Structure 1
Amino acid sequence: MTWPAIRPDAALVQAVIAGALSFAHLHDLAAAAGQDGWKAWAYPISVDLLLVAAWRRLRSDGPSRLAWCWFVIALVASLGANVATAGFLDLAHPPAWLRFGVAGWPALAFLGGTLLAHTTHATDDVRMQDRPAPAAPESAPTIPTPADQSLEPEVPRVPAAEEAPGLPAAADPTPPVPAALVDHARKVAADHHARTGIAIDTDTLRARLGVPPQLADAIAAQLT
């Protein structure tokens, strides 16, 4: 049985070294602020866990104010410990604000971890808003109406004698005009006069009514 060759990963080695140094600096700072024993070791674990939880929230759920806020807080705590232990503070006589910050960190870390674990993801609402709305069903195309078409119901055409094959031609050249057709012709003529300002001519009346020329002449005669 052959074991796979172990190839050292430079990035992983660098991460382990940086994590160990940051862990030691946080421990030294907590110990200098009066947290001795196991409590001094618990502080770096708390800071690193909050940092990892905030970063995981950013990676899994996308950017959010909550995750960025706690990520920055944990990063400042870790970076501040690294800087403070580099000789910028007298750890033998730590200032009061440092003791105050170290003493209040457990409650702050507990609040951040609880919010990151149990707060509803705000990105879910954003994703729902970014989804395209369902396409509305296409409506039936609208057939344009000519400008001079009236709104009155269309009167069925009266076929002319020559349009009906097999029927003898009427002896009277002037066919009878139904009264309803004459009334409708009056409305058409009045509508034409209201729109154009001139009286309707026989050709226009015939086109509007859809009647043969002889019947159109008979209707025009009754309109005068």
Structure 2
Amino acid sequence: MTRPNRPTRPDAVLVQAVIAGALCFAHLHDLAAAAGQDGWKAWAYPISVDLLLVAAWRRLRSQGPSRLAWCWFLIALFASLGANIATAGFLDLADPPALLRLGVAGWPALAFLGGTLLAHSAAERPPVPPAPDTKPKTTPGAQAAETETDASPEAATEDTPALPAATSPAPAAPTVPVPAALVEHARKVAADHEARTGARIDTDTLRARLGVPPHLADAIAAHLA
């Protein structure tokens, strides 16, 4: 499938960038040549300045604001802008000042340092916030409900084996101490009652004849049985 040929239209921004870049390149070349850098060295200076400017701007665009990138961007911009102003007649390029010669001579080392730091230094990243806790929070009411559920009789029956019920022994009847003399007297009363009536004396009659409380009468009757 062939695509229709679209007419090529010049981009005004691109044309403007090419013109500005060419003029800046020429000004840097002229300044380097006036400072004593002749031949290919004068052509290398504008390339070095523009590459450092582009590298710093790319670092700012790709990794966000950085003091290092801003520092080298301003240094390269100052070198480019200074060359444009210096070649506008403010300096005598036939006899440049010693400070200009010093700056042009030291630029290669400065540009090499800036390019190395921009290429190999770690980007300044903001601290990463801690991840939110995705574990559901349990309210006190829900915890109480879970506790009641775990302690329910059904859960206890399923988790805990049934134990045989313990058989408690029957409580022993309390023993009441009875004096021997009272037991002998009770035997005589019982024998006399049986002789007169022909039947054994019961507990109520024995209690009435002896004048003792019911529990003591029961204890005496147990001795007579």
User: What TM-score, normalized to structure 1?
Assistant: 0.59
Matches of 1:94 and 1:6 in 2, distance apart?
A: 46
**Larger-gyration structure (1/2):** 2
- Which residue of structure 2 aligns with residue 142 of structure 1? 140
Matches of 1:132 and 1:79 in 2, distance apart?
A: 45
Matches of 1:7 and 1:94 in 2, distance apart?
A: 44
- How many residues align? The count is 140
Of 46, 49, 52, 1:47 maps to: 49
- Which residue of structure 1 aligns with residue 160 of structure 2? none
- Which residue of structure 2 aligns with residue 161 of structure 1? none
Matches of 1:66 and 1:16 in 2, distance apart?
A: 28
Matches of 2:134 and 2:19 in 1, distance apart?
A: 59
Matches of 1:65 and 1:6 in 2, distance apart?
A: 41
Structure 1 unaligned regions, length at least 5: 144-224
Between the two proteins, what is the percent identity of the paired residues? 76
Q: How does 1:109-120 map to 2 (within 5 A)?
A: 109-120=111-122
User: What TM-score, normalized to structure 2?
Assistant: 0.59
Matches of 1:140 and 1:6 in 2, distance apart?
A: 67
- The Cα RMSD (Å) is 1.9
- Which residue of structure 1 aligns with residue 196 of structure 2? none
Matches of 1:135 and 1:96 in 2, distance apart?
A: 65
For each residue in 1:33-89, what CA deviation from the matched residue of structure 2 results, as whole angstroms up to 9, or x when unmatched? 000000000000000000010011111111111111111100000000000000111
Of 102, 106, 109, 2:108 maps to: 106
Of 66, 77, 82, 1:75 maps to: 77
**For residue 124 of structure 2, what is the amino acid of its counterpart?**
A
Q: How does 1:50-69 map to 2 (within 5 A)?
A: 50-69=52-71
- Which residue of structure 1 aligns with residue 28 of structure 2? 26
